[in-house]
Amino acid sequence: MPDKKATKTGTAETLLVELLTEELPPKALKILSDWFGKNLKMYLKDLGLLIGEPEAKCFATPRRLAVQIQGVLGKGNDSYHVANGPSVNAPKVHIEGFARKCGVSIDKLLQIDAPKGKIFACEVKKEGARLDDVLAAKVQDALKALPTPKLMRWGDSNAQFARPAHGLVMMHGSRVVPGEVLGVSSANRTLGHRFLSSTAIALKHANDYESALGDKGKVIADFAKRRSEVSKQLEKAASSAKLVINDTLLDEITAIVEAPAAYTGEFSSEFLAIPEECLILSMQQHQKYVPLRDKTTGKLMPRFLFVSNVEAKDPREIIRGNERVLRARLADAKFFYDHDRKTRLETRVPRLANVVYHNKLGSQLDRVERIKKLAGTIANELKSDAKSAERAAWLSKADLLTDMVGEFPELQGTMGRYYALQDGELQEIADAIGDQYKRDELTPGNLTSSCLYLADRIELMTGLFGIGERPTGEKDPYGLRRAALGIINVFELLGAAKGLREQAVTDIKDLLEFSSGLFPKNPLAADTVAAVHSFVLDRYWNQLATVYDKNIVEAVLSQKPPLVEIVSRVEAVKAFRGLPEAESLAAATKRARNILRKEKFSNVQRANPELLVEEAEKDLARAIVDIRSKVDAHFDRRKFVDCLNTLASMKTQVDTFFEKVLVNAEDPKIRENRLALLSELDYLFNRVADISKLAA
């Protein structure tokens, strides 16, 4: 008898679940919709109520979440399994107890073979889940599992959700599935557009949902289709202008309308005197408007687009209303901008003493003073203008005290750049202030930007790691992972820039040491420098391993080389690995390293020529002497490819040595000398990278 079997019951139909609510948070709407559909489908699959792997089609509008799943059973398959009981020779009382548990008499029990002899068993039936019994609870579970930003209660109910619930549809084909979710009972009626549809819409079948909402409710329920319609209308309204919009803004606009209609508004050209970043942020973030650029000049135009939730016969009043709202916003921005420019940035800096940076690390002024010293040190190493770097660092946080940044925190650095230019600061200093918060490339060719950017992030990581504010798991409230990647990116730029490899002689670890010395004596942990250094290298490993073979990355990063050299070393090892000599030499260096480790021979020593006995070891010693100076010269000039190519020429001597020479000779002096020879070989072959990591 098989251990398990099942019988098919129930009819497969389309399942529709819709929750009607008050307006949902627009930034989270798409995520909530996708997770709701994914969770409900997973729960139904676990209960055996799905046929195959049907698609969960999700719908989302400002006041509804819905999912439509094909192939859902009204009742899951019954399952059977054989429950094992006591031995056939067990006391009768035990056998009777087992029969009672199975709900049968003793004569109905089965006898089956087991490893220790025959035993009693019975066939147990497990009823398949019934959709009517479980759906409401599973919908409730799916809603609880959503990444909801905030929960709220309403009325006298204990129900909690992102917004109050007002309606529930749960239909299996043409049948309403009974149940209650968030205090609302299920029905087959939904609501259409708030203004364009006045009566409830009765659904005859779960498959009718999208078409009924579109035809009778004037609602585009599918988020992707509505997004496409919004995009199409914006492009049409923009005419010959260029839209200033990103995917995030487009998603937010889609999330606040059910029947989109795009219109064009205007504002006074006097506001174009304000930095365009302020105008764009005012329009996009506060009002969800779309700014426009002239396609020819690239300049911002005194026009904007907005998407209404209703198409009006005469839109003039809607347009005037939105123009009035924007005019007030831009007037505030102009006031802040004009007022800020009355005070020079340098006069704001001392007031940073009143702004707390961190209760264990002092004020923002304390931080600025540390960044200034660090930026000057970096500038000296790069043979850049230390005074410019220090000046940029000194002014870098002054815009935190401006009205504009107080209103728009996203403009930190950006406004500092504008105000620095207004104050007559050098262009490179102003650009460095503007670059400090960037995630992408800095102003090309501006070393002052690199100095400030590095100083800011090195100081940040040193201080916060030092007081125990280190990233754990997914938590990284201070953005230290992003800071590490920023440091890596700048060192890559320095490494790629012509002539800067020789200039950037200071490695990140040296800068971390210098930075840690700038803090008060008590707060920083003893392992701060080592911890930050390892953290940065780990981030680099993860980044490079997506592009290069992991063994190559490990070969380079295990040596903890200067950040500025890592990419060129990785490229050199990649090229070396393609040589015919590579596999044999990697295996040989791994063997040499294992021997040295086993013999606890850790110091690099020169072999004594007088103690060389075998011809093979003499040949290897001569080869090492011949190429040592060449390898050193290539390495000093950061010509890592040439360095490894030179080493590849030793393949014959290395192979012959391991084939014919016994390293562990009986004579201790000869054995010691051969270990010294291997230590020289190991040193040469691991200057660029640990070549032994390439061995299979």
As given in the structure block, the two tokens for residue 379 are 């500038």
480: nearest Cα among 399, 427, 538, 418: 538
468 by Cβ neighbours in 10 Å (0-12 / 13-18 / 19+) ranks as exposed
C-alpha dihedral (431, 437, 443, 445), degrees to nearest 10: 100
**pLDDT, tens digit (0-9, with 9 covering 90-100), for 89-105:** 888 888 888 888 888 88
The CB density around residue 428, as the number of other CB atoms within 10 Å, is: 19
DSSP string across 68-99? EEEEEESBPPEEEEEEEEEETTS-HHHHHHHH
Q: How many CB atoms lie within 10 A of CB 538?
A: 13
Q: Does the pLDDT value for residue 6 go beyond 60?
A: no
Please, which residues have CB within 8 angstroms of residue 274's CB and are 6 or more apart in sequence?
Answer: 330, 333, 334, 337
- If residue 208 lies in a helix (H) or strand (E), which one and from where to where? none
The DSSP output letter for 340 is: H
Instruction: Sort residue 238 into left (φ over 0), alpha (ψ -120 to 50) or beta.
Output: alpha
694 burial via Cβ count (<10 Å: 0-12, 13-18, 19+):
buried
CA distance readout (Å), 19 to 32, 130, 227, 294, 384: 12, 21, 21, 43, 62
Q: Are strands 64-73 and 180-181 parallel, antiparallel or unpaired?
A: unpaired
Percent of the chain with pLDDT over 70: 97
Alpha helices in 81-239 (DSSP H): 92-102, 131-144, 209-215, 223-238
Question: Average pLDDT, stretch 670-674?
Answer: 88
Judged by average pLDDT, the poorest of 113-127, 196-210, 282-296, 576-590 is 113-127
Query: What is the Cα–Cα distance from 472 to 300, expressed in whole angstroms?
Result: 43
Q: Determine the Cα–Cα distance for residues 600 and 602; give it in Å rounded to an integer.
A: 6
Give the residue, 624 or 126, on which the prediction is more confident.
624
Give the pLDDT score at 500. 44
Let me know: does 536 contact 454? Beta carbons within 8 Å. Answer: no
Give residue 36's Cα distance to chain centre.
22
Q: What is the mean pLDDT of the chain?
A: 90
End-to-end CA distance of the chain: 50
Q: 270, 271, 253: which is closest to 262 by C-alpha?
A: 253
Is the pLDDT at 631 greater than 80? The verdict is yes
* 163 pLDDT higher than 70: yes
Closest CA to 400 of 436, 447, 439: 436
Q: What is the pLDDT of residues 412-441, one digit of tens each?
A: 999 999 999 999 999 999 999 999 998 767
CA atoms within 13 A on the CB side of 125: 8
Name 219's Cβ contacts closer than 8 Å, sequence gap at least 6.
Answer: 61, 192, 193, 197, 213, 258, 259
Find which of 226-235, 577-586, 622-631, 633-642 is predicted with most confidence, using mean pLDDT.
226-235
Helix axes 566-577, 528-544, angle to 10 degrees: 50
Tell me, what DSSP letter sits at residue 152?
B
- 10 Å CB burial of residue 8 (0-12, 13-18, 19+) is exposed
Q: Which of 96, 101, 36 minimizes the C-alpha distance to 64?
A: 36
Residue 413: CA count within 13 A, CB half-sphere: 16
Contact of 651 with 591, CB cutoff 8 Å? no
For 482-511, write each residue's pLDDT tens digit.
999 999 988 888 776 644 444 444 688 999
CATH architecture designation of domain 577-694: Orthogonal Bundle (1.10)
pLDDT of residue 696: 64
- CB-based contact 42:14 (threshold 8 Å): no
Q: What is the pLDDT of residue 24?
A: 94
DSSP state of 30: H
Report d(CA 422, CA 391) in Å as an integer: 15
Instruction: Give the pairing of strands 184-187 and 180-181.
Output: antiparallel
Range in 153-157, 319-323, 572-576 the model is least confident about: 153-157
Residue 19 bridge partners (DSSP): 65, 168
**Would you state the pLDDT for residue 506?**
67
Compute the C-alpha angle 197/202/205, nearest 5°: 130
Mean pLDDT, to the nearest integer, of 176-191? 95
Tell me which CATH code domain 359-544 carries. 1.10.3210
Residues 114-143, mean pLDDT to the nearest whole number: 88
Quickly count: other Cβ atoms within 10 Å of residue 43's Cβ. 19
Q: Which two tokens stand for residue 668?
A: 């201790």
Q: Give the CA count within 13 Å in the CB-facing half-sphere of 404.
A: 32
Q: Is the dihedral of CA 193, 197, 202, 204 positive or negative?
A: negative
The domain spans of the chain are 4-76+130-215, 78-126, 223-340, 359-544, 577-694
pLDDT at site 521: 74
| Alpha carbon distance 201, 211 (integer Å) | 11
- Mean pLDDT of the 261-272 span: 96
More confident residue, 72 or 663: 72
CA distances to 136, 349, 410, 467, 545 from 515, rounded to whole Å, are 58, 21, 27, 14, 29
